[in-house]
Structure 1
Amino acid sequence: MTEMPHVVVIGGGFGGLSATTALAKEGFRVTLIDRHPYNTFHPLLYQVATGGLNPGDVTYSLRYFSARYDNVHFRRTTAIGIDHEQRQVLCEDGVHIDYDYLVVANGITTNHFGIPGAAENSMSMYTRAEALRVRDMIFGGIETIAGMSEEHTGGFTVVVVGGGATGVEIAGQLAELKSHAVPNVWPELNPALVRIVLVEMGPVLLAPFDDKLRRYTLRELVKRGVDVRLKTAISAVHPDRVDFDNGQTMSCDLVIWAAGIAGYPMLRDWGLPIGRGGRIEVHPDLRTINDDRVFAIGDASIIVENPLPQLAQPALQTGKHAAEQIARIHLGQPTQPFEYYDKGTMATIGRADAVVELPNGLKLTGLVAWLGWIALHVMFLLGSRNRIQTLVNLAVRYSGLGKSGVIIGDGAPTPRLKALKDE
């Protein structure tokens, strides 16, 4: 251990690991806190949920990560509060961790917008466990209708709520599952009995993208058999159906919520300034507006003067910037405002199909965009094993070498189908 200041980083996501890496290289003593023993690569969780990847392909040991640096210590625990006067992070296991500087990078959670039944009766995919639950419900539901008559079950319907990148990607992958996996794994089942519905309350899909790419995405999803419903809002979610604000009701088996994100509600009790979307308000140098020793980065934070998109790149860049500012403060130098370098946005639609929009105005669609999407995501995975295994699994899935190309876990029947089966 050195005489350098001690920095505590809460959260082992993109921003937290970026900050930890930069701090370690500067020689600071760092304690990294996370409730999970692994980092999760969130952009590929939908592949886990649809059987394209194993959960181990998108997770990386935080203990192994911290062991690469002599001055980094990982502690698996849940932060439950901050004592700003004593400069301590309060942990669920009763331990109080002293800090000289604190970096809050604990990410976001699902925003259900107060819609009745949405939190209780829908599923999200922001953790490894959630993705596995979705996978088990999908394959369990298909397995159930394969063993029962069409007249009895009425098929299997998945409603995806939200037309952003996450909603588009999961809907497109489910459509591919229906057209490629079902005929091979369940030849006795009519693929038409598996229905994918994508609901978006706005007038377009992928709102941040160029209009040309939005229209392209809509056409491609419809071509793949997705029932896309724009300008449609959910008014309530039940175990076996969803209600729309126009008074209509749709029977369904699984609701996947991809409609919005927000900061964790408990942050309000941590003495942090909370702004729009439950995010922590920070100055341009990423220090919170009420404590010069506390930084907030990534999805958990919002620069009051210049809000950033809640994506991986802002998290990575703000993590590094926060570490640089801590180093500047330690050297007695003034801090500098954060400047975001936009590297573009992308979303995959399905096999050999994606959309990419770069800052220079270049727009790509189809196979070229899809290959670029795969290359970028594999490159940002942590660990050589994960990169190799992901490439192998995706190659098997998309080349047709594995017939179905899916990894099937334990099936769990949906509430509606379970009730029918028990009749």
Structure 2
Amino acid sequence: MLLENVAPSVGLFNGAHVEFVGPLYLEDDWQVTLSSCEYRDRVRTSGVTLTTPLDTPASDRERMYQVPVGSVIVKVNGHTIDGDEHRLDELVAASSTVQLVFHTPKHPPHLPEFIVVRVPNYTENRGPNILGIEDADDLVPIRMVKRARDKGKNNRAIGGGEESRTEFRVGPPLEGGSAFTGFKGQGATLDRVVAKVKAWVETPGFWTVVVSRVRHPHHLHVPTDQWPTVEEIQVQRLNPDVLEAEIFERQMKINAAKTWRHFVAAEDDGEWTSADNVIGDAVHVAWRRLHTRDVASVVCDELHAKGVDVSVSDVQHVVQKMSHTDEALILADHIYLTSRQHCCLVRSKIQRGRRRPTTTKPSKRPASTSAGRGRRGKGRRIS
């Protein structure tokens, strides 16, 4: 994933998903200009080979930010040194300004100049062929960048005060990603997710697992062609286990709402009182028996028969409060599929199966047997 805006008009924007192709090492040598004092303070070599990374001065940062370890000094002030360490020291000592030419490593694990990525829809957005080679229309080289970060007050004190305030990292403005199935990702919390699971949405619970792997909806991207329809998600309800899970979940919500109602009644300033709970329990039973919201008169008569003095307005007040809790799920429609719903989902599943691309496997020739060749088998002859 790209971490900065490079060319938003052609799809290279912050957050764009690109495909890694490989590193790109340029054949050119690097030229760095330093003063003799800077050379003594910053350049560390073994012979003529750099042993520590060399941060380039501001004048040379248009092309690169850091000369990598393993780079070989080939020229000093225009003079070739041919690997001679003594000649290197002589040329550096003879001038106050040192112009170094480095031959940098051209293979991993050394840092390349660019990372080449494949950008979706790059050609459609009229992006130019930057590499200038055939079949590379959608390949784009991403240049290395140098990022600074404050090491913090404690680290500054350990590292030597103000001079150690900032540390740098040179690398591509890219963040790596990995691909795995929703089954593998179950239980994981990820920073960013691209979900391509439309072919699996009829698997019970699969869609919910995939879209809930991130902390915020802004961190989830579902490509346009991967959005399932409501009907495609509902196909999973043909599985009886899904319906049983929905029934169980609904009942747990109802029980939790009833438990909470009794729990808050034990507190001094609770929104439910003990008298309300007596009425609420009667309403709960009436809702289950009659499956209608208008039970005020029935509950009032039943409580009067038990010696509880309540009015219809008291019952209506409790019914109103219960209607705003999960306890009202008692009155919800049945979860089981009707015949019409079942037929619609079966039809959708059949149509979905027809649209899904299938891989045709080559037919295997059956193993030859004595019976297949018309020879005498065990006890009979097949022609």
Structure number, greater radius of gyration? 2
**TM-score, normalised relative to structure 2:** 0.18
